[in-house]
Structure 1
Amino acid sequence: MGKVLVLGGTRYFGKRLVNLLLREGAHDVTVATRGLTEAEFDGPVNRLTVDRSDETSLAKAAEAGPWDIVYDNICYSPNEALAAVRAFQGRVGRYVMTSTLSVYGFGKSPAVENDVNPYEYAWGAGERTDMDYGEGKRQAEAVFFQQAGFPVAAMRIPIVLGPDDYTRRLHFHVERIMNGTPIGLPNLAAEMSFISSAETADFLHWLGTGTDLAGPVNASSDGALTISELLGLIEGITGKRAIVLPEEEAGPENESPFGVPSSWVLDISKAKAAGYRFGKVMDWMPDLVGQIVEGKA
């Protein structure tokens, strides 16, 4: 039986990951959060109250080990990464960090892992408030891969969608099309990668327990969609036309969370070569749109 710690596991794909581990029946699972969100799981879990931004608090969680696997879904800065390196040194067999497509910025697409090399990327002391989201993740990765004395893998994922998406990014588009509200978009031809919350959890589970793959690893559902194709899918399911305007005309309140200036797609060949088989984006996207339309998500 593996002893697993999940930092941030009470909602969305973190909660799904915990339930996958529990259903497998081979792990002693501990969930560490600030204790602000109540969550029920599909089996018994141990719970720790941890302030991820407080190194002393994080060290206490590490001392409750040693841990076979640590999943870190809530690391956003080099300071938080450095605290984890110090806390878990000698106390973890494998460390899996959740990272993001945002480390690549816009430009080259599809993005390959070596486009941002965390083994060489420069980092410095800093909190999450000192830098934007993408830079915080870039530097956090750099700290882990340059400083940790234990194996680390970083899952780089695009926008995660699901019926449990508390940010309601796909809901934004479905609801505006249903209500005839304008959507501000800069580039309808831009392609984007997506991944479902279910597949995100499954990939995390595999990355921790099913492979010894290390370093940054891209993960997304197979097949990119242009923004125009996504809107067309919603139009077909709702029977209504999208009203699309340039962002400056639509106003800030109607700017799409998918409003990318150019294609933003992940190359997932590294994970495929290691044996992971991704589902296709169109295997789940239409059903999710339908759930939102019916008020079930």
Structure 2
Amino acid sequence: MQRICVIGGSRYFGKLLVERLHAAGHRVTVINRGSTPPPPGVEHLVADRDDESALAAALGTRTFDVVVDQVCYTPVQAGIAVRVFSGRTRRYVMTSTIEVYDPATATPPAGAQDTPAEEERVDPATWAVRADLPWHDEAYLDAHYAEGKRQAEAVFTQDGRFGFASVRSAHVLGGGAREFTGRLAYYADRLARGADIVVHARELPTVFIHYEELADLLLWAATATGFTGPLNACSDGLLDVRDIADAVAAATGRRPVYRTAAAGEPAGPFSFDRYYPMSNSRAKTLGFAFSRTADWLPGAAAESVTASAAPAARGAHQA
């Protein structure tokens, strides 16, 4: 049994992580702003992680074996966490993202443009930190999401007060209505309406992970191994936007109609004109066994179609 603190953990795979940590017998504390209580038996501390003094006061004298940070998006937040949790934990695991490799925001090394990214492609030990940028501005943060994650990783890595690991998650799917990004639901809705699926002229593949698998990997990262540094998390197998739309179409019984985006027109989710899969070989070497995307995608697509149809069915019943 370990004493584990989860920052965030109120929805999607973070909520599932909290449930599975508790079910495994760990003593779990959840810190969030109070909007969503954790399951029974899990300690709940209400604090804004952006308020350093309030966060420290909420923690009191508590110490932890591991902290799992689900909601660290900026170097400013990382700096607060480093100061507050110094002396309170021996290890810190941050949920990061595949977006750190996106060639639209981070130039890959020469010759790496068409190869899956290894962790060293973005090295947080050498990445520059700019805490003076307007990270508090929501519009700025939204436009610089990937850079915020890169710099947050860099703060933890370069400070070195405790063992630090980052889990760089692939695009997360599954869970039906719980999949709050709505990206699978987007395709379910367009297929239901007979609308075109807008794609790039050349669609390039990326990698994905099921939300339950990501929760399992985070549990493993927090409790079963002491690795440090970045770790890529993705199921085996590349997919492009047509693979995703075709899976949703199979669940609806409709044929997708694809249309190439006009100049300046945005394509739909998961249509990429740039290549940025990542390699999961490090996690495999450390002992984690990944599923195959092709095995769980049909079920995830069917869940999304069912969840998308439910509001319409309720509306028809109420009418």
TM-score by length of 1: 0.92
**2:213 matches 1:214:** no
Equivalent-residue separation in structure 2 for 1:272 and 1:60 (angstroms): 39
The alignment status of 1:226 with 2:250, answered yes or no, reads no
Query: CA–CA distance in 1 between the matches of 2:120 and 2:17?
Result: 27
1:182: Cα distance to partner? Answer: 2.0
Which SS does the other structure have where 2:116 is aligned?
coil
Q: Is the 8 A contact 1:63 1:91 kept in 2?
A: no
Aligned: 1:133 with 2:145? yes
Q: d(CA) in 2 for partners of 1:96 and 1:141?
A: 10
- Give 1:148 shift: 3.0
Q: CA deviation at 1:73?
A: 0.5
Uncovered stretches (5+) of structure 2, i.e. residues with no partner:
311-319
* Correspondences of 1:1-297 after superposition (within 5 Å): 1-25=1-25, 27-36=26-35, 38-39=36-37, 41=39, 43-106=40-103, 108=113, 109-125=115-131, 126=133, 127=135, 129=137, 130-131=140-141, 132-163=144-175, 164-187=178-201, 189-248=203-262, 255-295=267-307
Question: CA–CA distance in 1 between the matches of 2:136 and 2:150?
Answer: 11
Q: CA deviation at 1:289?
A: 1.0
> What whole-Å deviation, never above 9, does each CA across 1:224-246 have from its counterpart, x for those lacking one?
11222222222333221222223
Q: Are the equivalent residues in 1 in contact too, given 2:184–2:248 (CA < 8 A)?
A: no
Unaligned 5+ segments in structure 1 are none
Aligned 8 A contact 2:38 2:44 in 1: no
Provide closer, same or farther for how the CA distance between residues 246 and 189 of structure 1 changes in structure 2, counting only shifts above 3 A: closer
The residue type equivalent to 1:272 in the other structure is K
SS of the counterpart of 2:296? helix
Q: CA deviation at 1:223?
A: 1.0
> Residues of 1 paired with 2:296 and 2:93: CA distance?
26
**% identity of equivalent residues:** 39
Counterpart of 2:262 in 1: which secondary structure? helix
Normalised TM-score (structure 2): 0.86
C-alpha separation in 2, matches of 1:145 and 1:249: 41
Q: C-alpha separation between the residues in 1 aligned to 2:84 and 2:59?
A: 6
Aligned residues: 292
Q: 1:195 to 1:61 in 2, by over 3 A?
A: farther
Shift of the 279–61 alpha-carbon distance from structure 1 to 2, 3 Å rule, reads farther
CA distance in 1, matches of 2:8, 2:70: 6
CA RMSD, Structure 1 to Structure 2 (Å): 2.0
Cα deviation, 1:67-108, whole Å, max 9, x if unaligned, reads 111110111100110111111111102100010011111263
Q: Aligned partners of 2:294 and 2:223: how far apart in 1?
A: 27
Contact 2:188 2:305 in 1 (8 A): yes
